[in-house]
Amino acid sequence: MTVGDAMKRIVLLVALAACLAGPAAAQKGPLPVPTPRPDDGPQSAAPAPPASERPAAAPSTAEEGEADGKKPEEASAQPSEPVVRRMSCSALLEGRVSGKVVEPIREGQCGEDSPLRLSALGPVRLLHEAVTNCAMAEALAQFALKADELARKDLGASLAAIDAGPGYQCRRRNRAATGKMSEHAFADALDVVSFHLSDGRRIAVDADWPHLKAAPAEGEKPAPPAERADTPQARYLTGLHAIACKQFTTVLGPDANPAHRSHFHFDLGCHGRNCTYLICE
């Protein structure tokens, strides 16, 4: 081998070694920064875009949970407001009753999510507005329709108005201090005092119901109200009582107890295991 060939081989070996060692050398120290060209001038940051064109910054985790000064886990543990279902009421939407949906009722054990303030049952006015739920409003509309038909048939006049109580009342049954809550407490009941005809006649439960002249003897059943009725007004009321017993799950009249001597009580409370048991007194 000539000296020239030996020198060429040495140069090739050195070049090969430099190539192999290049990556490792780059990891040991910073890369060299290129010197700017004279015509580049001083480097400056690009101008910020207008605020309207800037993308909204995503909130940090702390911002999402600490908007009110609480840590994320504390904020998520706070109870949320109750979700209220404001359901549509077909009786109101289709004109079988007149009135409006009012704010949900929250009063201790009492309340209703979607109460209605009723002013009329079809063409029959309520002398005083009453608050009920939608199911009760539907049942009352059907009752008023049949009560009007009975008045036209038996009394020769249409039913113009009904005098009733407020419907919703947060109280226990028979206004007792203890015991079960009344269906009034859930806007599911109505007390009716009197019926007003188109010819001006007023038929009142207290005055016109065929009341028992004396309490029956022990073990003796009193005659049914229809058999005791001896006036057109009394017969109308006993007819309404019979109609109501097919329309509501609870009907209490003057024969039920002294607390109902002056009015009819109607409600849609659940009785029995399957809510199919009816109370008609």
Per residue in 8-27, pLDDT tens?
665 565 555 555 555 444 44
Question: What does the pLDDT read at residue 13?
Answer: 59
Per residue in 36-65, pLDDT tens?
433 333 444 444 444 444 444 433 333 333
Per residue in 80-111, pLDDT tens?
444 444 568 999 999 999 999 999 999 999 99
Using pLDDT thresholds of 50, 70 and 90, give the confidence band for residue 183.
very high
Using pLDDT thresholds of 50, 70 and 90, give the confidence band for residue 126.
very high
Q: Where are the domains positioned within the chain?
A: 90-207+225-280
Question: What does the pLDDT read at residue 205?
Answer: 98
Question: What does the pLDDT read at residue 5?
Answer: 62
Report the distance separating Cα 130 and Cα 118, nearest Å: 5
Report yes or no: 278 and 249 within 8 Å, Cβ to Cβ: yes
Of the chain, the end-to-end C-alpha distance in Å amounts to: 132
What integer is the mean pLDDT of 191-218? 94
Quote the tokens at residue 235: 């017969």
Report the distance separating Cα 95 and Cα 118, nearest Å: 11
Question: What does the pLDDT read at residue 180?
Answer: 93
Quote the tokens at residue 144: 């008023």
Strand (E) or helix (H) holding 89 = none
Quote the tokens at residue 213: 């002249």
Question: What does the pLDDT read at residue 216?
Answer: 81
Name the residue with tokens 């020198």: 7
Strand (E) or helix (H) holding 161 = strand 159-164
